[in-house]
Amino acid sequence: MAILTHPHMRVLVQGMTGHEGSFHTRQMIDFGTNIVGGVTPGKGGEWISGKPVFDSVIAAIEATEANTSVIFVPPEHASDAIYEAIDAGIDLIVCITEGIPVQDTMRLYDYLKQSNSRLLGPNCPGILTPSGISIGIIPGYITKKGTIGVASRSSTLTYEMIYHLSENGLGQSTCVGIGGDPIIGTSFVDVLEMFENDPDTEKILLIGEIGGRAEIDAASYIKAHMTKPVAAFIAGKSAPISERMGYAGAIIEQGHGTAEEKIMALAQAGVRIANNPDHLVELLR
């Protein structure tokens, strides 16, 4: 069993004909993901990696019965792609695109709450289950099947930590990148609740960074509801105040959102805090 993914997923790639979309389509197919087609307006009828391309999500669903979508559409059109997927009734929408304006994602978030769709991201690496489902850009070869659930805000740190886990024999149940933007569709709390209820997840790794309240809210949830052990790594201890560090959401404002603040909240909730990847392995053994 895994969270968010299941064997009956039929995945569309919105933006399949672009450079990133076509490359990662091949990677996902090679890993075992059931990619059933792609969507690029005006390019219906083309084929990428043996999969048909459609002009719209509705047309793709009619032909393939798709229920999941991953979005590689450029930021100026990504919001429209998400709206289209929501309106078509897609169950899970994974948005890889970085650079969508915050005002656009605020409107999307309100629209999403009125639907039955779930959004992962935007600006996220996606989700991977080592048993053979990869929706996004997490490299499959660094993962290993096991019982540790991984939830992360940072794409690069996700890869680094998963690699260290796998190299030390610590496999993963599901790896989830929630995204680094200030407004996202699925939070740490959402993912922690799923891991708590997943019988195949025994321990959880939370990878956070400076900016926002995501880790603070996660600490409150862990303290009140989690029974499974949680370890965490928080990046950005040396980050300067009011300077954005890579992601749109990774910025300390008015003294809030610091690594120290988040580490203290998590530690008070009983979370074991790692100083580096090797220390993380020790905590999760």
What torsion, rounded to 10 degrees, do the Cα atoms 148, 152, 155, 160 define? -40
pLDDT of 36 higher than 70: yes
Mean pLDDT of 165-184: 96
Q: How confident is the model at residue 241 (pLDDT cuts 50, 70, 90)?
A: low
The residue ranking higher by pLDDT, 280 or 190, is: 190
Mean pLDDT of 227-233: 98
27: region left, alpha or beta (phi > 0 left; psi from -120 to 50 alpha)? alpha
Mean pLDDT of 25-53: 98
pLDDT of 1 higher than 80: no
| Helix ranges (DSSP H) in the chain | 19-31, 57-64, 75-87, 102-113, 155-167, 188-196, 214-225, 259-268, 277-284
pLDDT of 245 higher than 70: no
Q: Which two tokens stand for residue 194?
A: 């799923």
3-state class (DSSP) for residue 52: strand
122: region left, alpha or beta (phi > 0 left; psi from -120 to 50 alpha)? beta
3-state class (DSSP) for residue 32: coil
Mean pLDDT of 238-252: 54
Q: What is the pLDDT of residues 184-193, one digit of tens each?
A: 999 999 999 9
Residue 276, pLDDT score? 85
In DSSP terms, which residues pair with 234 in a beta bridge? 208
pLDDT of 253 higher than 90: no
CA 205 – CA 188 distance, rounded (Å)? 11
Mean pLDDT of 246-272: 77
Strands 145-152 and 126-129: unpaired
pLDDT of 113 higher than 90: yes
DSSP annotation of 256? B
What is this structure's pTM?
0.94
Quote the Cα angle for 81-150-244, to 5°. 65
Q: What is the pLDDT of residues 62-90, one digit of tens each?
A: 999 999 999 999 999 999 999 999 999 99
Residue 277, pLDDT score? 79
Task: Report whether 116 contacts 28 (CB < 8 A).
Answer: no
Mean pLDDT of 144-153: 97
pLDDT of 255 higher than 70: no
Looking at every residue in the chain, the average pLDDT score rounds to 93
